[in-house]
Chain A
């Protein structure tokens, strides 16, 4: 992740975020976020709230900072030495970047699903059981079984794999692997799930399954999804945020963004015009 913003006049074009970046009683709240890779600034003064049980889609051209922003939310950028993050990040009023916040525990509360399915080279069962074991969520084998089965069920995978839980997770199809990764994420009962292009490597049928799943998961989790597929953003999310060259250009109801965006840059991007 060394995507950085350029173009010096960007501050003239995007003076402030258009639309409604703030919500009442947000699950996640971020204010004045700046991110630097070395001396290159990748994110400029982004302020955004994410509501409880909402699916928000982050869209924008490559290098616009949407993945960088997403990774800040569960401190994935901590692992990049040259990356410095400033601004305010709160999960239910708790400071995500506080000294006493354990990033490992934070990532259990804010889970992540990546673009390429990345199951551990272990059995399907162990893939899902790994997190609960690590965090000591199960007192005995029966409880662990229960967590594994219910997570696989919530991820819509259980029926397909119930007879081969000991088979390797890497032997599944792409779509199944991705749902396995989602089961692994929800096994530790997160509050928020971050998804970085979760369906971009999948065929249309597997994509539809994942999208259906996202809709169901919304009942229990808050979901932030980065996607390059405009139709996907339009289908799965309630709110959409458009990033451009490290700035948050516009946030609004997904229905409004896709029928009547307010900012010219948003319009240009979603209609496939030259920016």
Chain B
């Protein structure tokens, strides 16, 4: 029997407000991180060094939000000693924002590479391989945040499922870059830059997957980390 995750029915209105407040902050942080990733990718693919600088210099906002939300969660734990779904909400927020902060760091990396790209006069065409991977990762992050906002286990599982293709795309890019490097060793430096960006994107996908796992924990109370998708589905069907 599923229990209802209604945040607004506590006897204490203040508690309702505190939980709603911290959840909204986490969603805002998600929005900001999503923008950072999107801008970082755009700067990279279109060689916009200004936009790259903006992304790199905005990471502090994400970090500040993480610290703030952590503090609010600590206060809720200290003051309210939440249980059951409330406890799971606070725990999943604490964990989600850690992943969001790391996604922010990866977005910052994309921004930094966009600046480098312009400085080194690397042609953006060398980065186009990343476009498909980047769009996929952006979509995953968006879906993960959406699943979190709607507490939607089905959407979370679908997002986790899509990470398999992400791995394939990442491996394909790696193989292609190795070929390039073997064919023309002068390309090694550029190819490594592209690879680092691909790596950042792949990490963002991983963090998005983690967020989806927290959504499952939040809604179902099941910890589905470190298990295969099939095991996950089987466990949730129990």
A contact residues vs B (CB 8 Å cutoff): 18, 230-231, 234, 258-264, 266-268, 270-274
Contact = CB atoms under 8 A, between A and B. Distances in A.
Nearest to B8: A273
A259 B3 contact: no
A261 to B, nearest CB: 5
A208 to B, nearest CB: 15
B3 A230 contact: no
A234 B81 CA distance: 11
A274 B81 CA distance: 17
A229 to B, nearest CB: 10
Contacts, number: 52
B1 A271 contact: no
B4 A271 contact: no
Contacts of A266: 84
B86 to A, nearest CB: 5
The main secondary structure of chain B at its interface with chain A is loop
Given A271-B10, A272-B15, A273-B9, A263 B3 contact: yes
* Closest 10 pairs (CB-CB, A-B): A260-B221, A267-B3, A273-B9, A270-B83, A271-B86, A258-B83, A264-B3, A271-B84, A267-B84, A272-B11
B196 to A, nearest CB: 40
A270 B83 CA distance: 6
B88 interface: yes
B29 to A, nearest CB: 24
Given A231-B81, A272-B10, A262 B3 contact: yes
A74 B6 CA distance: 40
A267 B222 CA distance: 16
Interface in B1-30: 1, 3-4, 6, 9-12, 15
A259 B1 contact: no
A234 B83 contact: yes
Contacts of A268: 9
B85 interface: yes
B85 A271 contact: yes
B4 A259 contact: no
Contacts of B9: 268, 273-274
A209 B137 CA distance: 54
B3 A273 contact: no
A139 B138 CA distance: 82
Nearest to B81: A231
Contact of B221 (A259, A271, A273): A259
B84 A261 contact: yes
A259 B6 contact: no
Nearest to B89: A271
Interface in B152-184: none
B65 interface: no
Contacts of A260: 84, 88, 220-222
B232 interface: no
A259 B84 contact: yes
Contacts of A263: 1, 3
Q: Which of A234, A259, A266, A270 is packed against the most chain B CB atoms within 10 Å?
A: A259
Contacts of B83: 230, 234, 258-259, 270-271
A264 B1 contact: yes
Given A231-B81, A271-B10, A274-B11, A261 B3 contact: yes
A40 B137 CA distance: 63
B15 A264 contact: no
Nearest to A273: B9
Nearest to B16: A273
14 contacts: A230-B81, A259-B83, A259-B88, A260-B88, A260-B221, A262-B1, A263-B1, A264-B1, A264-B3, A267-B4, A267-B85, A268-B9, A271-B82, A274-B9
A50 B70 CA distance: 41
A58 to B, nearest CB: 17
B77 interface: no
A259 B217 CA distance: 10
